[in-house]
Structure 1
Amino acid sequence: MQDSAHLLRTRRFLPIFVTQFLGAFNDNLFRTAMVMLVIYGIYQDPEQEATFSAIAGGLFILPFFLLSALAGQLADERDKAKIVRIVKTAEILIMIVGAGGLLLHNVPLLLAALCAMGVHSTFFGPIKYAILPQHLQSDEVLGGTGLVEAGTYIGILAGTLLGGVLVLQRPDGSFHAEFAAVAVLVVAAIGRVSGHFVPAAPPAPDAPPFHFDWHIIRASRTLVSNTLHIPRLFLAIIAISFFWAMGAVLAAQFPPLVKNALGADQTVATLFLATFSVGVAIGSVAVNRLLGGQVSARYSPISALLMGLFVLDLYRRVKGWPAPEAELRDLHAFLAMPNSWMIVVDLLGVAVAGGMFVVPLYAFLTTTVPKSETARTIAANNIVNSGLMVAATLILTAAVQLGVTVADSLLIVAGATVISAWLGWKLHLACD
């Protein structure tokens, strides 16, 4: 097996890798800058801030529910490379609106750009995975998928960090985001340039014709039904969805976990985010080494169980953590606490195991169906993913209202990893 890094030296992979990396980077750069500006520079009322966060989250995920079926059909019917160029051109126009919102401190403009970026991600999402089987050899798809996943998480991390840094405070206490506005436009333009070099990926000449259904609800229902009735795809999609549902719970709990359970400030939350992103990237690349390029779910069950064990150890250490003090600890003070490094290790372990769990499943989705159907398969997966993520967030919200603490919510995640391991094992038995 060749090292998957060799793909980064080829035109059949590097342009799509760079394009998706810049997309993830810019998405999180804009979102973080927007949140920082609105929370610290525009609103000063907790109720307004909470309402804004809820609306923003809903506007971003709504396109995945509504438009994934159309995105999947379009990507399977047309040249994927041409769609990439159209989508990246649209990103420049979206970021013009977003930059205007950042410069003018205009919340409606910011929310409009955020929703439009959700549409952008909805149409680009199926392509970044579905294009790989067309450009890569069968023994390269797993490695390419791992690199895409790793690049996505590094892009998320870098964009989040830069988005926070570029929202600056003036001497009078007000906040401004001129540098962030320029940055999102520059990154969008570079993404359009990289998208220009993605090789053509037209539909297979022998692909069976299908009827393009523009009815959003009917198309979504048909797409999910046609995909989930295949047992192997059902198991893979549900397993991936459980992973992202667990990820949604963890992501939602990071800020309150750091502040309220560990008594630490935003620098520690940044460390947690960085640790998690790097861990997923490591796991995404490492699993390709273990599998030797073969698309297989044989490591998914043990990876899910390892996730659960690391989450349980994290729960144990958080429950035993000293009561928070009046003043939040900064990064230096946090790392000076006993067992603080073990909490970081637990987070890294959860992330590495998570990357090892999910990457082979994405590779399985793109290689187990005809190349003419890969985008629709990924789109069906995105619909189910977003549904379970919303469900997990609602369950978490209800649990908190019933008195479940931040630390105790980690037990929900640990329990879900057992289900994920069982699904991974069923898929391994069915396919390997």
Structure 2
Amino acid sequence: MAHNQLELLKQRRFLPFFLTQSLGAFNDNVYRQAIIGLLFWLGISPEQRTLYTNLAPALFILPYFLFSATAGQIAEKLEKSRLIRITTTMEIVIMSLAAVGFLTQNMPVLLVALFSTGVQSTLFGPVKYSILPSVLKPEELTGGNGLVEMGTSISILVGMILGGLIFKLAGDQGPIVAATAVVLLAITGNLVSRAIPRAEAGAPDLKVNWNPVPESLAIIRLARKQPAVRNAILGVSWFWFVGTVLTSQLPTYAEVNLGGAETLYIFALALFSIGTGVGSMLCEKLSARTVEIGLVPLGAFGISAFMIDLYFARNGAAVASGLSVSGFMQQPGSWRIVIDLIGIGLFAGFFVVPLFALMQSRTPRNEMSRVIAGMNIQNAGFIVLAAVLGIVVQRYLGWSIPQVFLALAIANIVVAIYIFTIVPEFMMRFLSWVLVRGLYRLKLHGIEKHVPDEGPALLVCNHVSYMDALILAASIPRPVRFVMYHKIFNIPVMSWIFRTAKAIPIAGAKEDPDLMRRAFEEIDAALAQGEIVGIFPEGALTRDGEIAPFKSGVERILERASESGRPVPVVPMALRNMWSSMWSRRDGRLSRMRVPRRFRAHVEVIADAPIDGAAVDAPMLEARVRELRGDAA
């Protein structure tokens, strides 16, 4: 198992796929930019050039509408490494046709090949993201997705640069160089793909429906079945909308508003792409190797903040023209624009990577490829909508590009608030992430090894502070249903977080027997559905820093599960160094809390090997938790 996302690049389960994906994105953009380079090299009239440059993106995106439903079913039915080899073999054939187009300088042939490239990308799309949960553990999903997004961003950027330079640098040899480059890249991608290890099909018995219309509607409904996944997909599609509007405006923005030559557009695109790559890579560190959707609100509002500042940084035409990168950097306010473009990309990475990880972690394996195919259809729709709106607001409403950026920033805030209102889990995780990461530095032991990746489990832990549930939730890759004393559950503000996280309030038998009964029923139902339930068997916060005797409620939970014929594993856990927390009862009562002795104090979360729930009792679990915690109260 990789303990750092960069270690994945040394492992066969990830590296060949990463390289295959990056090479594919690189080759697609070399090819598309080389077509544009050929148009200029042939001296085609501006009217014809505009026709081809508008037709090319439409031809590439059309297969996503036509064939995504079929692609999702095929990706669900076939073993994934085999399907990737099929798609990279298709790429060799398609790029061979493209090579003929370059050598004969035949635009219709090149456009047919471009459409075919869209078909190949449509087929590869569902397996691109559905393979990651098959080869990565839940705690590696964020890091793995971050690497894929980083690799894709950089590959697109470098591909655009090199593809655009082929005809400028090669001159009369441009068609030969372009033809050779795209074929060699396709062959390289196919050879690398042969090293991808097997990843079993999600639904090998699935019967493929070849009619794209009803199947497209079916997979869109499938993608919308679970609210969290539905809105994660909406967020990803919105990311493509924002990215399409921004990147499609950059060439003109660099020329008109920044006063740059063609190289300045590439520089601006590079800033955004590098920012996205860095943001994607930082997600694992910021999330502490969990699927931390609390980063999504941070990403959304960060995008808007930097985009609004970009508007104010330069909202009119440039006073100079034809500036090189160095010339632009010498202009007043240039560094502000550079920081804004990097910042937009950085927070875009924070926004999209956790959404991919959430979608992968919450979608059943036998539906994932079809759900991703549904996402691709929606993404394509948002990309087309972005392109159309960009044209409408500028040609018919007369908006300047900075005004488009400002409107996009405001729309981004509105969409983000809409998503977070519908699924409050995003904001709940954001608040808990800010609280936990702001107050503590967590050190985890045994979480990856001992907390099950799937299926039911009961977590038992010592209870030291009002922050315990949030700390454990921030440490465990899977969602946890915590059982907590109803008075803690009802603490103002914190109550909203606990309710959104579907915590289960409980009271003592003498205090509220009806609430206790409902709590045990809800615990039983959660375990039956394969969820993780977390409990604090002491029944209350420690008053002296020591672990109190475990109550018999834990035995009752396990007995109910065993009587139903589905005993659950029990994972003993311990919190260390929490007694000095401002949220503990170290000072006797909450009204006299102190701040921690050290800001962002080190807190350790320890998990031990699961124990058969049918063979444990409360004293045994208490002894194990005491041993795990040791003397570090």
> Which SS does the other structure have where 2:51 is aligned?
helix
The corresponding residue for 2:349 is 355
Q: How does 1:73-88 map to 2 (within 5 A)?
A: 73-88=73-88
Contact between 2:256 and 2:317, CA under 8 Å: does it hold in 1? no
The corresponding residue for 2:281 is 285
The corresponding residue for 2:264 is 268
1:217 is aligned to 2:194: no
TM-score between both structures, scaled by the size of structure 1: 0.94
> Which SS does the other structure have where 1:286 is aligned?
helix
1:208-232 C-alpha deviation (Å, 9 max, x unpaired) = 9543211011111111022213211
1:13 is aligned to 2:9: no
1:412 Cα deviation (Å)? 2.2
1:95-119 C-alpha deviation (Å, 9 max, x unpaired) = 1111111222110111011111111
- Range with bigger deviation, 233-242 or 414-423: 414-423
Contact between 2:76 and 2:204, CA under 8 Å: does it hold in 1? no
Equivalent residue letter for 2:44: Q
Equivalent residue letter for 1:63: P
Equivalent residue letter for 1:412: A
Equivalent residue letter for 2:279: G
Q: 1:225 to 1:329 in 2, by over 3 A?
A: same
The corresponding residue for 2:596 is none
Contact between 1:150 and 1:285, CA under 8 Å: does it hold in 2? yes
Q: 1:297 to 1:420 in 2, by over 3 A?
A: farther
Equivalent residue letter for 2:134: Q
**Alpha-carbon separation, structure 1, partners of 2:279 and 2:318:** 31
Equivalent residue letter for 1:213: N
Contact between 1:26 and 1:184, CA under 8 Å: does it hold in 2? yes
Q: 1:170 to 1:429 in 2, by over 3 A?
A: closer
- Greater strand proportion: 2
1:170 Cα deviation (Å)? 7.5
Contact between 1:312 and 1:410, CA under 8 Å: does it hold in 2? yes
1:179 is aligned to 2:173: no
1:277 Cα deviation (Å)? 1.1
1:182-205 C-alpha deviation (Å, 9 max, x unpaired) = 11111111100111011111225x
1:346-388 C-alpha deviation (Å, 9 max, x unpaired) = 0000000001100010111111111121111111111111101
- Range with bigger deviation, 247-256 or 97-106: 97-106
Q: 1:425 to 1:2 in 2, by over 3 A?
A: farther
- Greater helix proportion: 1
RMSD: 1.8
1:341 Cα deviation (Å)? 1.7
List runs of 5+ in structure 2 lacking aligned partners. Answer: 427-478, 480-500, 502-633
Equivalent residue letter for 1:358: V
**Alpha-carbon separation, structure 1, partners of 2:111 and 2:68:** 20
Q: How many residues align?
A: 425
The corresponding residue for 1:406 is 401
The corresponding residue for 1:198 is 196
1:7 Cα deviation (Å)? 0.6
Contact between 1:30 and 1:163, CA under 8 Å: does it hold in 2? yes
The corresponding residue for 2:145 is 145
Q: 1:170 to 1:348 in 2, by over 3 A?
A: closer
Contact between 2:26 and 2:155, CA under 8 Å: does it hold in 1? yes
Contact between 2:256 and 2:318, CA under 8 Å: does it hold in 1? no
1:416 is aligned to 2:411: yes
Q: 1:293 to 1:220 in 2, by over 3 A?
A: same
Contact between 1:239 and 1:423, CA under 8 Å: does it hold in 2? no
1:213-254 C-alpha deviation (Å, 9 max, x unpaired) = 110111111110222132112211111111110111001100
**Alpha-carbon separation, structure 1, partners of 2:366 and 2:323:** 54
1:321 Cα deviation (Å)? 5.8
Q: 1:169 to 1:271 in 2, by over 3 A?
A: closer
1:176 Cα deviation (Å)? 2.9
The corresponding residue for 2:99 is 99
1:29-50 C-alpha deviation (Å, 9 max, x unpaired) = 1111111111x12243221111
> Which SS does the other structure have where 1:277 is aligned?
helix
The corresponding residue for 2:555 is none
**Alpha-carbon separation, structure 2, partners of 1:191 and 1:116:** 17
**Alpha-carbon separation, structure 2, partners of 1:358 and 1:199:** 27
1:275 Cα deviation (Å)? 1.0
1:169 Cα deviation (Å)? 6.2
The corresponding residue for 2:370 is 376
Equivalent residue letter for 2:282: A
**Alpha-carbon separation, structure 2, partners of 1:128 and 1:169:** 34
**Alpha-carbon separation, structure 1, partners of 2:245 and 2:407:** 9
1:28 Cα deviation (Å)? 0.5
Contact between 2:59 and 2:118, CA under 8 Å: does it hold in 1? yes
1:423 Cα deviation (Å)? 4.8
Q: 1:140 to 1:95 in 2, by over 3 A?
A: same
Contact between 1:56 and 1:111, CA under 8 Å: does it hold in 2? yes
1:370-424 C-alpha deviation (Å, 9 max, x unpaired) = 1121111111111111101111211111111221111211112101220343255
Equivalent residue letter for 2:82: K
TM-score between both structures, scaled by the size of structure 2: 0.65
> Which SS does the other structure have where 2:47 is aligned?
helix
Larger radius of gyration: 2
**Alpha-carbon separation, structure 1, partners of 2:117 and 2:205:** 30
The corresponding residue for 2:384 is 390
1:64 Cα deviation (Å)? 0.7
**Alpha-carbon separation, structure 1, partners of 2:385 and 2:207:** 31
Q: 1:151 to 1:420 in 2, by over 3 A?
A: farther
1:168 Cα deviation (Å)? 3.1
Equivalent residue letter for 2:159: G
